[in-house]
């Protein structure tokens, strides 16, 4: 069990493009089809090349769609990251559809997969706050809280980076981290 200061030291926030990350794994904000899309999903498949999509198709064939809150793992294809963890966040419906818990599970199941694969460093985008329209301040609080609580209990992951695409999103995550 780590204390809060140690945990906060392991969480890094930065503005950037997640496809350029050199962490062991990056996380994709995918959709249940796992067959690609726009936003960060499109960027990861474009930069990572066709191998990632082939692996996603294989997962689809074996296990079917990836439900919101769940996560699956593939190799990193042409990316610097060795793995891509594909998770599906909730579509924001005004807060009436258990969106907070689904978002929490998307982070939690991604982290659990990372631990299972011996991943020590991992980068997340801001899941659900683009096309899925989850309010950024609320999503940031859930993301930071879920990661911090996980790191308190599991010391195998050494670094969690949030790669935020714009300044406003970055500021919301910074605020969420400071308020812990």
CB of 77 vs ligand AR6, minimal distance in Å:
15
The reply on whether position 15 binds ligand AR6 by CB under 6 A is no
The reply on whether position 41 binds ligand AR6 by CB under 6 A is yes
Which CB sits closer to ligand AR6, 41 or 99? 41
The reply on whether position 132 binds ligand AR6 by CB under 6 A is yes
Residue selected from 37, 75, 159, 171 as contacting ligand AR6 according to rule CB under 6 A: 37
Per-residue 3-state assignment (H helix, E strand, C coil) for the chain: CCCHHHHHHHEEEEECCHHHCCCCEEEEEECCCCCCCCHHHHHHHHHHCHHHHHHHHHHHHHHCCCCCCCEEEEECCCCCCCEEEEEECCCCCCCCCCHHHHHHHHHHHHHHHHHHCCCCEEEECCCCCCCCCCCHHHHHHHHHHHHHHHHHHCCCCCEEEEEECCHHHHHHHHHHHHCC
The reply on whether position 68 binds ligand AR6 by CB under 6 A is no
Q: Quick check: is 41 catalytic? A: yes
The reply on whether position 75 binds ligand AR6 by CB under 6 A is no
Sites of contact with ligand AR6 (CB under 6 A): 17-19, 29-31, 37-41, 43, 89, 125-132, 163, 165, 169
User: Which residues are designated catalytic?
Assistant: 41
């Amino acid at each position: 069990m780590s204390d809060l200061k140690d945990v906060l030291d392991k969480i890094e926030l930065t503005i950037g493009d997640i496809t350029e990350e050199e962490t062991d794994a990056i996380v994709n904000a995918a959709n249940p089809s796992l067959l690609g899309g726009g936003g960060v999903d499109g960027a990861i498949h474009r930069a990572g090349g066709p191998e990632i999509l082939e692996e996603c198709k294989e997962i689809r064939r074996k296990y079917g769609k990836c439900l919101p809150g769940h996560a699956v793992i593939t190799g990193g294809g042409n990316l610097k990251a060795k793995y891509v963890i594909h998770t599906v966040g909730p579509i924001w419906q005004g807060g009436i559809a258990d969106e907070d818990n689904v978002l929490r599970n998307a982070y939690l199941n991604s982290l659990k997969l990372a631990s299972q694969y011996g991943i020590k460093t991992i980068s997340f985008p801001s899941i659900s706050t683009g096309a899925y329209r989850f309010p950024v301040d609320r999503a940031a609080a859930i993301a930071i809280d879920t990661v911090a609580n996980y790191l308190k209990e599991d010391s195998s992951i050494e670094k969690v980076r949030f790669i935020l695409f714009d300044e406003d999103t970055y500021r919301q995550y910074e605020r969420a981290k400071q308020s812990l």
